[in-house]
C-alpha cells in the first residue's frame, strides 16, 4: 500500500533531514519534488496545489528554518497536511445511533468490491460490536449476485434474506425491512445492484430503495486502483444520493494512493473503510493518521 509514493517522499525527506540547517530555497526545492511525487501518485491537481501551498506556507516560516531540526519539522508539517487531506483526525466511523433495524446501503459500480465489502463490514459489526446483522442482495441484474452474497453470508455466519426469484429491488428491500423487524436485527445491510457505468436507471433504483429503507449510512464502494476515476465516480454518486462515506477497496494493490488522497478533498465524503485483500478479514477502519504514518514510513 502506497509503496511507490512512500519511497519517493522518503527520498525527499532523507535529503532534508540530512542537511541540518535549511534555507527557504531548500524547502522550495523539496516541495517541487513532493509535488511531482503526488502527481505521479495520481492525486487530483487541485488537491496537490492546495497541499503544496499549505505545506510551503507553514514550512518556510522563521521558526521552522531556525529550529535545531528543521528537516524534522518539515516532515511533521507534511504529516499534518497529509492527515488533513485524508479527512482529519476525527474522521467519523459508522453512525449506528438510531432505532433498529439500522440500514446500511451499499452502492457502487459492478466489480468495485461491493458484495465483498458488504460481507466484510457485516462480519466486523457482528464480531467487533456484537450486532445482530442481516444482509440482503438487491442485485437482480448480475446473475448469481444474490447467490454470491448468500455464500459469503455463510462464510461469515451472518444471515441473508432468503432469495425469491423474480422480485424487483424495491420488493426485496421491503421484504428485507419486514424480516429485519420481525427478527429483531440491529443492522440490515442492503447490497444494491452495480452497473458497469453510472447511469440513470441505477441512480433511480438506489433512490427508490433509499426511500423504502431510510438508510442511516449510504456507503459508496470504489476501487482505489482506478485512481482519479474512483474520485469521479464518487462525485457522480454524491450528486445523486446522500452518501455518508466511502469504502476504498484493493488498497492492498495500490502503490500510488491517488484515490485515497483525493477522495475527501474532492468529494467532501470521508473514507470510512479500506479493503486490503480478498479475505473476509481484509478490511480496515480508515484512520487518516495511521495512513499518513504509513505513507511517510
Please, which residue, 116 or 267, has the CB nearer to ligand GDP? 116
Backbone angles phi, psi at 217, to 5 degrees: -125, 135
Q: Least separation, in Å, of the C-beta of 227 and ligand GDP?
A: 15
Distance set, CA 162 to CA 147, 151, 170 (Å):
10, 12, 15
- Provide the minimum distance between the beta carbon of 135 and ligand GDP in the complex, in angstroms, as a whole number: 12
Question: Was 7 annotated as part of a binding site?
Answer: no
* Ligand-binding site membership of 112 (annotated): yes
Q: Rg of the Cα trace of the chain?
A: 21
Residue 120 marked as a ligand binder: no
List, edge to edge, every strand of the sheet that includes 283-285: 159-160, 133-137, 187-191, 102-108, 217-223, 245-249, 271-275, 283-285
Phi, psi of 273 (to 5 degrees): -140, 155
For ligand GDP, the closer of residues 111 and 239 by Cβ is 111
Tell me, what DSSP letter sits at residue 105?
E
Q: Which is nearer to ligand GDP, 77 or 222 (CB)?
A: 222
Q: In the structure grid, which three cell numbers stand for residue 266, read together? A: 474532492
Nine-digit cell string for 60: 518556510
Residue nearest to ligand GDP (CB): 275
Burial bucket for residue 72 (CB in 10 Å: 0-12, 13-18, 19+): middle
Minimal distance in Å, beta carbon 254 to ligand GDP? 9
Q: Is 249 marked within a binding site? A: yes
Nearest distance from C-beta of residue 188 to ligand GDP, angstroms:
18
Residues that bind ligand GDP in the complex, under the rule CB under 6 A: 108, 110-116, 194, 249-250, 252-253, 275-278, 282
Q: Does 69 appear as a known binding residue? A: no
Question: Which of residues 226 and 276 has its CB atom nearest to ligand GDP in the complex?
Answer: 276
Binding site members for GTP: 108-115, 191-195, 249-252
Amino acid at each position: 500500500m502506497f509503496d511507490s509514493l512512500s519511497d519517493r517522499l522518503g527520498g525527499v525527506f532523507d535529503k532534508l533531514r540530512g542537511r541540518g540547517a535549511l534555507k527557504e530555497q531548500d524547502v522550495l526545492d523539496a516541495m517541487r519534488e513532493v509535488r511531482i511525487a503526488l502527481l505521479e501518485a495520481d492525486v487530483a491537481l487541485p488537491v496537490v496545489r492546495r497541499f503544496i501551498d499549505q505545506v510551503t506556507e507553514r514550512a518556510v516560516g522563521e521558526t521552522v528554518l531556525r529550529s535545531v531540526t528543521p528537516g524534522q519539522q518539515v516532515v511533521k508539517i507534511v504529516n499534518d497536511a497529509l492527515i488533513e487531506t485524508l479527512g482529519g483526525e476525527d474522521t467519523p466511523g459508522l453512525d449506528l445511533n438510531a432505532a433498529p433495524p439500522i440500514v446500511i446501503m451499499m452502492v457502487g459500480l459492478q466489480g468495485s468490491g461491493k458484495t465483498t465489502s458488504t460481507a466484510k463490514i457485516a462480519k466486523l459489526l457482528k464480531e467487533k460490536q456484537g450486532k445482530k446483522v442481516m444482509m440482503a442482495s438487491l442485485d437482480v441484474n448480475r446473475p448469481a449476485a444474490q447467490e454470491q452474497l448468500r455464500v459469503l453470508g455463510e462464510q461469515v455466519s451472518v444471515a441473508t434474506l432468503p432469495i425469491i426469484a423474480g422480485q424487483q429491488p424495491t420488493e426485496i428491500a421491503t421484504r428485507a425491512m419486514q424480516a429485519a423487524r420481525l427478527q429483531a436485527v440491529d443492522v440490515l445491510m442492503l447490497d444494491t445492484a452495480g452497473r458497469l457505468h453510472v447511469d440513470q436507471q441505477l441512480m433511480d433504483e438506489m433512490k427508490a430503495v433509499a426511500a423504502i429503507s431510510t438508510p442511516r449510512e449510504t456507503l459508496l464502494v470504489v476501487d482505489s486502483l482506478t485512481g482519479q476515476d474512483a474520485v469521479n465516480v464518487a462525485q457522480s454518486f454524491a450528486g445523486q444520493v446522500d452518501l455518508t462515506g466511502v469504502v476504498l477497496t484493493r488498497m492492498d494493490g495500490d502503490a500510488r494512493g491517488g484515490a485515497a488522497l483525493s477522495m475527501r478533498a474532492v468529494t467532501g465524503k470521508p473514507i470510512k473503510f479500506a479493503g486490503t485483500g480478498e479475505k473476509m478479514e481484509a478490511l480496515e477502519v480508515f484512520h487518516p493518521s495511521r495512513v499518513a504514518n504509513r505513507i511517510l514510513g
